[in-house]
């Protein structure tokens, strides 16, 4: 089982719609969860992080975390063509060993059509 | 700040040759990470350093790969000898901290596109 799993997509949504991106992780001890956005040919950039169960909102982005289900999601409201990118879910693992590291999923490609 | 600086941006080499990738982290960041990205496997952590000391190199694929951080402002990732399956984008990233209560935001360099023929 992969440590962090995402559907590769592409996820296609029309402009103005809500895009929902999902991620599951295997390490029950994981404490920190991140969403990175990566445009084609560019490096990843952090857009959201969440530590506690529930929702965290930042502008058009909402991160949702459910530790019991080992599930984290990212909602993008009022999607824009400029949101078209690959979204990488990242989770810290190894908390119990004292050597934490950030493990990335393979990403979900989002396409927002005008 | 100029951000994380990687060189070269592109490297094309022949199988069997030595390849050296370079990275300058953001000043003041005490963690440095080397990642490799491929379509099939995504972003894989190869090795990371804390205060110039290698902490976890379990992601280094094999003995052909080695990484050093001689000082706080410079790191290298070396592949010797290189093989076609090493072709990927190699990212260097730095951060202020890797603990739960500290800022874990990774700042990535622009990456090195490596092609081994």
Residue B21 has pLDDT above 60, yes or no: yes
Q: What angle do CA B84, B86, B91 make, to 5 degrees?
A: 145
B67 phi and psi angles, rounded to 5 deg: -135, 145
Cβ-defined contact of A102 to B98 (cutoff 8 Å): yes
Per DSSP, the three-state class of B42 is strand
Cβ-defined contact of A106 to B56 (cutoff 8 Å): no
How far, in Å, CA of A68 to CA of B27, rounded?
A: 38
pLDDT in 10s for each residue of chain A, 114 residues: 678 999 988 999 999 999 999 999 998 888 889 999 999 999 999 999 998 899 999 999 999 999 999 999 999 999 999 999 999 999 988 766 666 778 899 999 999 999
Tell me what pLDDT residue B93 has. 94
CA-based nearest distance B40→chain A, Å: 8
Averaged confidence pLDDT in chain B: 91
Cβ-defined contact of A102 to B110 (cutoff 8 Å): no
How far, in Å, CA of A112 to CA of A114, rounded?
A: 7
Report chain B residues whose CB lies below 8 A from the CB of A46: 105-106
Render the burial of A12-40: b for 16+ CB within 10 Å, e for the rest. ebeeeeebebbbbbebeebbbbbbbbbee
Size of interface A-B (CB pairs under 8 A): 54
Residue B78 has pLDDT above 90, yes or no: yes
- Write the residue in A34, A44, A94 that is nearest to B108 by C-beta: A44
- For the segment B49-58, the average pLDDT, to the nearest whole number, is 91
Q: Which residue of B has its CA nearest to A2?
A: B41
**Counting beta carbons within 10 angstroms of the beta carbon of residue A68, is it exposed (0 to 12), middle (13 to 18) or buried (19 or more)?**
exposed
């Amino acid at each position: 089982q992969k440590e962090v799993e995402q559907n590769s997509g592409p996820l296609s949504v029309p402009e103005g719609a809500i895009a929902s991106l999902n991620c599951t992780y295997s390490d029950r001890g994981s404490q920190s969860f991140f969403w990175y956005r990566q445009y084609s040919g560019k490096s990843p950039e952090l857009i959201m992080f969440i530590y506690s169960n529930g929702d965290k909102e930042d502008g058009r982005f909402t991160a949702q975390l459910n530790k019991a289900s080992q599930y984290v999601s990212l909602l993008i409201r009022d999607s824009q063509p400029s949101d078209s990118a690959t979204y990488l879910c990242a989770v810290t693992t190894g908390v119990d060993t004292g050597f934490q590291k950030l493990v990335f999923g393979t990403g979900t490609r989002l396409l927002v059509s005008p | 700040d100029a951000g994380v600086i990687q060189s070269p941006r592109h490297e094309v080499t022949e199988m069997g040759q030595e390849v050296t990738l370079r990275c300058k982290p953001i000043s003041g960041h005490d963690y440095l990470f080397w990642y490799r990205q491929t379509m099939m496997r995504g972003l894989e952590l190869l090795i990371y350093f804390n205060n110039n000391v290698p902490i976890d190199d379990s992601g280094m694929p094999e003995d052909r790969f080695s990484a050093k951080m001689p000082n706080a402002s410079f790191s290298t990732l070396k592949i010797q000898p290189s093989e076609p399956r090493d072709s990927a984008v190699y990212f260097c990233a730095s951060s202020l901290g890797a603990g739960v209560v500290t800022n874990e935001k990774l700042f990535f360099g622009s990456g090195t596109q490596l092609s081994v023929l």
